[in-house]
């Protein structure tokens, strides 16, 4: 007669060994993958820091002053790479990565906080002093505002077409 308890015990040991082996193989694979991910992240961090340094050198001094409040390389090195990259990221969010529906154009309705009123953009002006918008206020008077200080409401009227039509009639 067979001893079923002994057979059962032997089979369980065999299954437990297989499970342990599979677990160990999976664990070792996971460690290898984890190290690979860490190495790739480290390399990406180095590339990002290097790109940040190159961008500082390639950027106009006035823009660097706007972003960091500094002109000199020595002052730039006083910051950590993550701080410098974060400041560039904040600047880009304000100036370059603005979605098309947030860009200010002639005919856009904007809120002018320092006047505490809404107005319509009639002209966009850029010069050495910066970017400006000329708006027409609700009382009909024009006002020149710093472009970064006004906020678009998302409303738009076709004033640009009307201004072009008037320009042609006056020519």
User: 73, 83, 96: which is closest to 49 by C-alpha?
Assistant: 83
Q: Are 71 and 58 contained in the same domain?
A: yes
pLDDT for 102 equals: 54
Question: What is the domain count for the chain?
Answer: 2
Average pLDDT over residues 81-108: 74
Kindly report, residue by residue over 7-45, the tens digit of the pLDDT. Answer: 556 666 677 888 888 888 888 888 888 888 888 888 888
Q: Are 77 and 140 contained in the same domain?
A: no
Q: What is the largest CA-CA distance in the chain?
A: 116
Q: Are 109 and 91 contained in the same domain?
A: no
Cβ atoms of 155 and 118 closer than 8 Å: no
Q: Are 90 and 121 contained in the same domain?
A: no
Q: Are 60 and 112 contained in the same domain?
A: no
Q: Are 67 and 107 contained in the same domain?
A: no
Cβ atoms of 119 and 106 closer than 8 Å: no
Contacts of 159 (CB under 8 A, 6+ apart): 106, 107, 120, 122
Question: Lowest mean pLDDT: which of 4-18, 33-47, 131-145, 146-160?
Answer: 4-18
* Residue positions counted in the chain: 171
Range of the domain at 162: 100-170
pLDDT at 123 over 70: yes
Q: Are 72 and 106 contained in the same domain?
A: no
Q: Are 13 and 73 contained in the same domain?
A: yes
pLDDT for 78 equals: 85
Q: Are 8 and 90 contained in the same domain?
A: yes
Residue 32 Cα to chain centre, angstroms: 32
Cβ atoms of 143 and 119 closer than 8 Å: yes
Q: Describe the crossing of helices 81-95 and 61-68 by its angle, rounded to 10 degrees.
A: 110
Kindly report, residue by residue over 106-120, the tens digit of the pLDDT. Answer: 888 888 888 889 999
């Amino acid at each position: 007669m067979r001893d079923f308890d002994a057979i059962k015990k032997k089979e369980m040991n065999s299954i437990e060994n297989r499970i342990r082996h599979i677990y160990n193989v999976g664990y070792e694979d996971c460690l290898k993958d984890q190290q690979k991910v860490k190495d790739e992240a480290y390399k990406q961090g180095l590339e990002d820091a290097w790109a940040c340094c190159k961008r500082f050198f390639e950027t106009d001094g006035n823009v660097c002053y706007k972003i960091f409040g500094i002109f000199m390389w020595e002052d730039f090195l006083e910051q950590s790479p993550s701080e410098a990259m974060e400041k560039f990221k904040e600047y880009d969010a304000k100036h370059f990565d603005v979605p098309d529906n947030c860009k200010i154009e002639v005919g856009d309705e904007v809120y002018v906080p320092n006047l505490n009123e809404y107005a319509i953009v009639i002209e966009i002006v850029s010069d050495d002093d910066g970017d400006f918008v000329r708006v027409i206020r609700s009382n009909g008077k024009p006002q020149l505002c710093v472009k970064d200080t006004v906020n678009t409401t998302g409303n738009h009227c076709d004033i640009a077409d009307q201004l072009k039509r008037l320009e042609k009639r006056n020519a």
